[in-house]
Chains A and B, each alone.
Chain A
Amino acid sequence: MSEWKPRDTVMVVFMILVVGIMLLQMVQNDRLYDRVSQAIRLLEASGGRGPATGPSADPVRWRVPQAEPGGSVIIHESARPTNLNIITCKDHAGAVILSDSGLVYESLLERDPQTLEFKGLLAESWSVAEDRLSVTFRIRPEARYSDGVPVTAGDFVFTYRATMIPTMDCQRIQTYLLDCDGVDALDNHTVRFRWKKKYFKILEVAGSLPAVPRHVLDPDNLIDTDPAKLAERINAWDPPLKSPPPIASGPYLLEKWDKPGNRVILSRNERYWGPMPPLQQIIFRIITNDTTALQALKAGELDYMTLTSEQWTNLTVDPAFLERFNKFKYLRADGGYSFIGWNNRRPPFDDRRVRQAMSHCVPREQIVQKLLYNLRELANGPFSPLGRQANPDIGQWPFDPERARALLAEAGFRDTDGDGILDRDGRPFEFEMSIPAGVQIYTQIMSLFQDQLSRIGVRMRIEPYEWSVYVDKLDNRAFDACSLAWIGAVEEDPYQIWHSSSYENKGSNHIGYSNPEVDRLIVEAREEFDEERRNAIYHRIHAILFEDQPYTFMLTGPRLEAVSKRIQNAEPGKLGMDFRNWWVPVALRRPGG
């Protein structure tokens, strides 16, 4: 190499600067382009027209008359949705953003947050047929998509037929519609869902199907000519990043998904057909780490989040925090419960007395006090304590190691060789407790349980498994005992978890519970449309399950949440918060939004 001179250095630095500035300029151009194309998408989503203003437009009906319209809120979401495609979306996060709170996509019915009764959303009226095999909805004539096209019966027929295409990636919806016999458009605004057998949830299943605009997703009528191609197209649809635009009937439009920035931005649909909600923007911010999320909340970068028990008890109690945030602790009607599942088809848990003994050894009060800051409640069955399905006469299964000892002796377990471990037929009482790996609380709970069991002479090994391996073990019934939680529903249908037929085909009856009387009652309840009589059957099922202890029902929890005091009207109902009622006074808004 020849001699390196100072002017060479100057030259190199100069060239780096030039290249750098060019790059920055390119980035800036990209950003401008993004903003323009985003504006275009939004315009497309609203049918190429702006807000309905001017003298000819109807006066806006407001959902919350006293609210000052405008402003935005930032809501914490702890998991990232895999996509925001209403048909193929598989996760809870996606459902919350798109449809669960009626923000973007709407269904025929929704539940009243206080009474939990159904009320019409897109439907004006509905009726279940005499033979209980079909339900007919009358769609509101004023219901319109954001591009101004009316919502029609044909859209529901399309949604049903599209989700039934075998190659469509939408098992979540398909599973619910397996017993559906067909959907007919009786006229433009009347749609009928037919079922193969009587099922009391027909209203709920049909009423929660989202209205999907056929004219946008299938303009060239592929559903009749080439369903496979339609499935391919819809599977690849990634709104709002790829066309077609996310046209929907709800009060908010999917404006932007900032993937690197972890934000989903919903903007108010200015042409919404129903009463207009106050907030201009609802931003979902995805933060997977609890600590980071709480820091963001405290720094004013979030308005609403769910707290962990520890955060509720230790990290959000100072006056500075309470001055800025309201804390809510409430039970949700679809709360769900956690449990220990005993493999009912594997000795020794095939013996009811052994399962009962196990339940007597779980120190649930101690767990709640020592590990969960007294912030959980004990569960005694599969039904939500808020609903009418739960049997009010059933108490809690008591913690009673002495009784457990007696039950195990009755079942033939004795310590014959004096090693401190009970045995039967020469084999010691030893089993494996499978838990999902990476969830610390499971290990802690099981350690307390393990300690109790060792005192009565039972040896339990705690074995954590990675989630997909864990699910595999459940599906193949390759476990002694497992620990898990079910996500609940307002009205449970126990068929899926407790009916003996759900043991086959990797169904949800992992533990192989089988009780002919429960089977009969479950089917009977499915066909019973009178709520009073149906709940009587559920009370009976609840009592039998309590006696059989196929699960040790563990805990059910209130939600722990913090909401910024900027937000008005943030009161939780039995189904959580309704963002459509929130508003932020002008004086308390963030600069720029």
Chain B
Amino acid sequence: MRVYLIRRLLLVVPTLLGITLITFVIIRLAPGEPATLGGSAAGGEAGRQATAASAELLRAKKELLGLDKPLPVQFLVWLRRVAMLDFGHSWSNNQPVITVILDHISPTLQLNILAVVVIYAISIPLGVGQAVRRGRFFDRSTTLVTFLLYAAPVYWVGPLLLIYFCNPEHFAWFPAGELNRPFPENMAFFPWLYDRLVHLVLPVACQSYAGLAYLSKQTRAGLLENLQADYVRTARAKGVSNYRAIVHHALRNSLIPIVTIMAMILPGLIGGSIIIETIFSIQGMGYLSFNAILQRDYPVIMATTTLAAVLTLVGLLLQDILYAWLDPRVSYA
């Protein structure tokens, strides 16, 4: 096991290098110049301010950003700084990239963690119910509903939720977007927490509904397999109640793949959804990465992709370790 772990950890280094190199090359090969070089505001708005930087100003600016050096040199410079955990400064607002990421990571984390909790809390019982009532009305109808949800695009569902549930003309149950009412700093803690949670309801619903289908199907399949296994039949034969046979014997064993899926969620936790964030006006990681790409803010793009790569690799590693730990049949000796 230890040898395996060390080998896996060593493999992480070249993989990471490869990922960052490919990302670096791709963003530099993509056409378009960093927004900070032009006089223009970034994307979307199809207007252009009548300002044009002179050639000399441009050249000075490129030199300042290190864009005048050859690409390999630029990559090595970047690598050397990252090795010392310095991701540089964002070109769009001159703040350290780490600060910029910390500014945006908290709403994304809150949203994603709640969404994961919601997905698990709904789909595991749902999957159990489906497995127990296999082939009956409950199984089929909930399967249909979860798959319909899976197929519904979030850019359609999001505005619908907004229009029907945040509107005095229909139901003004939830606030329209953002994470707090005005002046959150003047609220006491528990009202503030309540306010935050109310604001999170719709975004979390949007973030989670599509995940129900996959996880409930996983639970259902795993449980079905175990329900037919010999040891469950034995348990039933020795007089264990049906509930105990399912929950204590079969379910525990079928949850192993579900737990390991959790490890894969790790990189997803910091990756925001640009669509949900735009609809609900939340400035999270999705907003940050998307805008960084539009503005060709290379330091921020590189930092967010590196972060995602690291978390993916850690997630995969964690998954393998969890497997070995939870399932005595698996070993990497």
Chain A interfacial positions (CB closer than 8 Å to B)? 24, 27-28, 31, 34-35, 38, 74, 79-80, 82-83, 88, 90-92, 166-167, 169, 171-172, 174-176, 178, 235-236, 238, 256, 258-263, 283, 285-289, 291-292, 295-296, 298-299, 301, 318, 320, 336, 338, 436, 438-439, 442, 466-469, 471-472, 475, 483-487, 489, 496-497, 502, 505-508, 590, 592-593
In the complex, A263 Cα to B281 Cα: how many Å? 11
Q: Do A88 and B94 form a contact, CB below 8 Å, given A299-B176, A468-B43?
A: yes
Q: Do A166 and B60 form a contact, CB below 8 Å, given A259-B103, A262-B281, A592-B183?
A: yes
In the complex, A258 Cα to B103 Cα: how many Å? 10
In the complex, A175 Cα to B180 Cα: how many Å? 40
B106 contacts partner chain A, Cβ-Cβ < 8 Å: yes
Q: Do A172 and B166 form a contact, CB below 8 Å, given A439-B44, A472-B33?
A: no
Taking a contact as CB atoms under 8 Å apart, the answer to whether A296 and B49 are in contact is no
Q: How far is the CB of A463 from chain B (nearest CB, A)?
A: 13
**Which residue of chain B has the shortest Cβ distance to A318 in the bound complex?**
B169
Taking a contact as CB atoms under 8 Å apart, the answer to whether A295 and B32 are in contact is no
In the complex, A537 Cα to B172 Cα: how many Å? 58
Across-interface contacts of A236 in B (CB, < 8 A): 89, 94-95
Q: Do A261 and B178 form a contact, CB below 8 Å, given A439-B46, A506-B52, A508-B52?
A: yes
Taking a contact as CB atoms under 8 Å apart, the answer to whether B294 and A467 are in contact is yes
**Which residue of chain B has the shortest Cβ distance to A473 in the bound complex?**
B31
Across-interface contacts of A27 in B (CB, < 8 A): 189
A-facing residues in B280-309 (Cβ within 8 Å): 280-281, 283, 294-296
In the complex, A90 Cα to B92 Cα: how many Å? 9
In the complex, A50 Cα to B281 Cα: how many Å? 35
Taking a contact as CB atoms under 8 Å apart, the answer to whether A80 and B283 are in contact is yes
Taking a contact as CB atoms under 8 Å apart, the answer to whether A298 and B185 are in contact is no
Selected contact of B44 from candidates A285, A296, A438, A496, CB within 8 Å: A438
B271 contacts partner chain A, Cβ-Cβ < 8 Å: no
Taking a contact as CB atoms under 8 Å apart, the answer to whether B179 and A438 are in contact is no
Bin chain B's interface residue count: 35 or more
Taking a contact as CB atoms under 8 Å apart, the answer to whether A28 and B189 are in contact is yes
B136 contacts partner chain A, Cβ-Cβ < 8 Å: no
Taking a contact as CB atoms under 8 Å apart, the answer to whether A299 and B184 are in contact is no
A-facing residues in B25-81 (Cβ within 8 Å): 30-36, 38-55, 57-58, 60-61, 64
Q: How far is the CB of A157 from chain B (nearest CB, A)?
A: 21
Across-interface contacts of A469 in B (CB, < 8 A): 30-32
In the complex, A487 Cα to B49 Cα: how many Å? 5
In the complex, A167 Cα to B89 Cα: how many Å? 15
Between A and B, 26 residue pairs with Cβ closer than 8 Å are A28-B189, A167-B64, A169-B61, A171-B53, A172-B39, A172-B51, A174-B57, A175-B52, A175-B57, A260-B179, A261-B178, A261-B179, A262-B178, A289-B278, A289-B279, A299-B175, A301-B181, A438-B44, A467-B32, A471-B33, A484-B48, A486-B47, A486-B50, A502-B52, A508-B50, A593-B182
In the complex, A106 Cα to B48 Cα: how many Å? 25
Across-interface contacts of B21 in A (CB, < 8 A): none
Across-interface contacts of A176 in B (CB, < 8 A): 51
In the complex, A475 Cα to B52 Cα: how many Å? 10
Taking a contact as CB atoms under 8 Å apart, the answer to whether A505 and B54 are in contact is yes
Across-interface contacts of B49 in A (CB, < 8 A): 92, 487
In the complex, A475 Cα to B48 Cα: how many Å? 12
**Which residue of chain B has the shortest Cβ distance to A172 in the bound complex?**
B51
Q: How far is the CB of B28 from chain A (nearest CB, A)?
A: 13
Across-interface contacts of A24 in B (CB, < 8 A): 189, 193
Taking a contact as CB atoms under 8 Å apart, the answer to whether B172 and A260 are in contact is no
**Which residue of chain A has the shortest Cβ distance to B60 in the bound complex?**
A166
In the complex, A585 Cα to B51 Cα: how many Å? 42
Q: Do A235 and B185 form a contact, CB below 8 Å, given A80-B283, A497-B50?
A: no
Given contacts A175-B54, A291-B162, A508-B52, 15 further A-B contacts (CB under 8 A): A31-B192, A83-B95, A171-B51, A175-B39, A175-B53, A176-B51, A261-B180, A287-B177, A287-B178, A289-B177, A468-B32, A472-B32, A487-B49, A496-B50, A505-B54
Q: Which of A80, A287, A288, A505 has the most CB of B within 10 A?
A: A288
Taking a contact as CB atoms under 8 Å apart, the answer to whether A174 and B53 are in contact is yes
Q: Do A291 and B94 form a contact, CB below 8 Å, given A92-B49, A263-B182, A299-B175?
A: no
B125 contacts partner chain A, Cβ-Cβ < 8 Å: no
In the complex, A292 Cα to B283 Cα: how many Å? 14
Q: How far is the CB of B26 from chain A (nearest CB, A)?
A: 14
Taking a contact as CB atoms under 8 Å apart, the answer to whether B50 and A484 are in contact is no
Across-interface contacts of A91 in B (CB, < 8 A): 41-42
Across-interface contacts of A285 in B (CB, < 8 A): 182
Q: How far is the CB of B328 from chain A (nearest CB, A)?
A: 10
Chain B interfacial positions (CB closer than 8 Å to A)? 30-36, 38-55, 57-58, 60-61, 64, 89, 92-95, 103, 106-107, 159, 162-163, 166-169, 172, 175-186, 189, 192-193, 278-281, 283, 294-296
In the complex, A171 Cα to B279 Cα: how many Å? 33
Taking a contact as CB atoms under 8 Å apart, the answer to whether A295 and B167 are in contact is yes
In the complex, A221 Cα to B106 Cα: how many Å? 39
In the complex, A483 Cα to B46 Cα: how many Å? 9
Selected contact of B176 from candidates A167, A175, A296, A468, CB within 8 Å: A296
Taking a contact as CB atoms under 8 Å apart, the answer to whether A171 and B39 are in contact is yes
Q: How far is the CB of A21 from chain B (nearest CB, A)?
A: 11
Taking a contact as CB atoms under 8 Å apart, the answer to whether A38 and B278 are in contact is no
**Which residue of chain A has the shortest Cβ distance to B103 in the bound complex?**
A259
Across-interface contacts of B95 in A (CB, < 8 A): 83, 236, 238
Q: Do A74 and B32 form a contact, CB below 8 Å, given A171-B51, A175-B53, A467-B44?
A: no
Taking a contact as CB atoms under 8 Å apart, the answer to whether B46 and A82 are in contact is no
Across-interface contacts of B31 in A (CB, < 8 A): 468-469, 472
Taking a contact as CB atoms under 8 Å apart, the answer to whether A167 and B185 are in contact is no
In the complex, A469 Cα to B166 Cα: how many Å? 37
Across-interface contacts of A166 in B (CB, < 8 A): 57, 60
Selected contact of A487 from candidates B50, B106, B183, CB within 8 Å: B50
Taking a contact as CB atoms under 8 Å apart, the answer to whether A438 and B47 are in contact is no
Selected contact of A468 from candidates B57, B107, B178, B294, CB within 8 Å: B294
Taking a contact as CB atoms under 8 Å apart, the answer to whether B48 and A466 are in contact is no
Taking a contact as CB atoms under 8 Å apart, the answer to whether B183 and A593 are in contact is yes
In the complex, A508 Cα to B180 Cα: how many Å? 42
Across-interface contacts of A318 in B (CB, < 8 A): 169
In the complex, A309 Cα to B285 Cα: how many Å? 31
Across-interface contacts of B103 in A (CB, < 8 A): 259-260
**Which residue of chain B has the shortest Cβ distance to A283 in the bound complex?**
B182
Q: How far is the CB of A158 from chain B (nearest CB, A)?
A: 20
Taking a contact as CB atoms under 8 Å apart, the answer to whether B94 and A299 are in contact is no
In the complex, A256 Cα to B178 Cα: how many Å? 17
Across-interface contacts of A292 in B (CB, < 8 A): 162, 176-177, 279-281
In the complex, A137 Cα to B40 Cα: how many Å? 31
Q: Which of B51, B179, B278 has the most CB of A within 10 A?
A: B51
Selected contact of B45 from candidates A79, A169, A338, CB within 8 Å: A79
Q: Do A471 and B38 form a contact, CB below 8 Å, given A287-B177, A292-B280?
A: yes
Taking a contact as CB atoms under 8 Å apart, the answer to whether A442 and B46 are in contact is yes
Q: How far is the CB of B121 from chain A (nearest CB, A)?
A: 16
Q: Which 4 A-B residue pairs are closest in the complex by CB-CB distance?
A: A468-B32, A295-B176, A467-B43, A505-B55
Q: How far is the CB of A206 from chain B (nearest CB, A)?
A: 17
In the complex, A27 Cα to B106 Cα: how many Å? 12
Taking a contact as CB atoms under 8 Å apart, the answer to whether A171 and B61 are in contact is yes
Across-interface contacts of B57 in A (CB, < 8 A): 166, 171, 174-175
In the complex, A370 Cα to B60 Cα: how many Å? 48
Taking a contact as CB atoms under 8 Å apart, the answer to whether A301 and B182 are in contact is yes
